[in-house]
Structure 1
């Protein structure tokens, strides 16, 4: 059984939840990307309020689920079902053999009818691997920066969107596996995103729980959005390593969505734009 092959990574105590997820979500009949005739999935047409938007962060594991299948369509359907306005993605493949030589960010954007930007962290002879941001609001500007570190290269992708008339900055990253790399990368990110007056959200896979951050997050600058009661993990080993930070004061809790479509659970939250953290 495919799930049992992952048991050494997730712990056997976590298998009942995954089996329940499998029964609830089901799997598609084909494991090939782009082999099915799929119709476009329309983007969300309404926000929760004029002064708010929903954002999801999701490490998609190059589209490979715990059942061993690479399938971008079901990830698009999961995102659409949650009606997120902005989605930050990590571990996104672009023209790589293991994922069928598909530009995954572009395919997701087309399925969802969203604007998209991609930032490579690694470039190969054939293909790239990195982060992406999808938005139902037009992306007005974007840039990306390669982050310091001694192991696998990581990056920070930033975009600017307008929610109604308000400019919002969105950033996403996927930090390294070593403690020292994460320390260097967080320090660089902190230099880049602090002191923004515009609404700011920094979301992604930080590869560590909040209490393991190498230095305390300055809550005068950014606030971590907590997970509400229920599913408290974002990774199949039971830890929360995917986070959403914002400089807005009025935020609600985030919630994780159990799935077998990746080894991470997507996290979604509502960001209100009324006031910054500093008061």
Structure 2
């Protein structure tokens, strides 16, 4: 069964202070995902040795990569990526709105790739939302709007993943969960798995949301000793199955399951 993994890699800086893209790749490789969504990647930045972390991790995994820079300063970039060994194409990669009262906040973005899985085109959107409630709500409005999930090309099956900086009690999470299913809720776990901070996870802010044709089979937070130190977040892995009768809109009236 196909697997997708979302992982905020914290520019590959571990909780032990060590910088290591290869360690991040090792954490991921142990679970053999088909699609990987990464947040907080440095590309060509002095602070992380000028490495293209997106391509370094993809190369180590034998995957190709779609990268979007949320932040650019001269030749330095910082952003999110979708990696896969499956046939794929980048559909869209753009900035998300901030909060008009706080133009100094970190820029945020999202990218959308269409990935061929078992003869079906799965629309995968990866994002990393802001830390402030007002900016998160504006960003979610955009993602639910006509240029992203509301776009005709964004047809079921759809998977929206990333670091949302939003717990299940937040308005931001609840807005998303009223349109798509939280994979953890759908999986029937008696106790949802937190992902942050990695050493002692208490917050559930990394999520996988799925449209109605995707049946979640298993959800796991990767809690290996290596994962606990490779980043300040734990990866979230979802194993799923695609139901027949694809090709519908992702159903923005789909209630949380």
Give the TM interval when normalised to the shorter protein.
Answer: 0.7 to 0.9
CA deviation after TM superposition for structure 1 residue 252, in Å: 2.6
Q: Residue 198 of structure 1: SS of its match in structure 2?
A: coil
- Alignment of 1:271 with 2:240, yes or no, is yes
CA deviation after TM superposition for structure 1 residue 152, in Å: 1.3
Aligned positions of 1:1-279 closer than 5 A: 48=1, 53-150=2-99, 151-191=105-145, 192-194=148-150, 196-214=154-172, 216-217=174-175, 221-226=179-184, 228=189, 232-236=193-197, 238-247=202-211, 248-258=213-223, 259-274=228-243
Gaps of 5+ in 2: 100-104
Judged with a 3 Å threshold, the aligned counterparts in structure 2 of structure 1 residues 69 and 219 are, in CA distance, closer, same or farther, namely closer
Between 199-208 and 243-252, the greater mean CA deviation after superposition: 243-252
Q: Residue 82 of structure 1: SS of its match in structure 2?
A: coil
The separation in 2 between residues aligned to 1:245 and 1:209, in whole angstroms, is: 13
CA deviation after TM superposition for structure 1 residue 231, in Å: 7.4
Q: Does the aligned pair in 2 maintain the 1:225–1:245 contact within 8 Å?
A: yes
The TM-score normalised by the length of structure 2 is: 0.82
Q: Residue 111 of structure 1: SS of its match in structure 2?
A: helix
The TM-score normalised by the length of structure 1 is: 0.76
The separation in 1 between residues aligned to 2:218 and 2:141, in whole angstroms, is: 26
The separation in 2 between residues aligned to 1:261 and 1:223, in whole angstroms, is: 29
Gaps of 5+ in 1: 1-47
Structure 1 residues 99-138: Cα deviation after superposition (integer angstroms, max 9, x where no partner): 1100001111111110110000000124100000000102
The separation in 2 between residues aligned to 1:215 and 1:225, in whole angstroms, is: 13
Judged with a 3 Å threshold, the aligned counterparts in structure 2 of structure 1 residues 80 and 218 are, in CA distance, closer, same or farther, namely closer
CA deviation after TM superposition for structure 1 residue 230, in Å: 6.8
Q: Residue 232 of structure 1: SS of its match in structure 2?
A: coil
Between 57-66 and 257-266, the greater mean CA deviation after superposition: 257-266
Aligned residues: 228
Compare the two structures and name the one with the higher strand fraction: 2
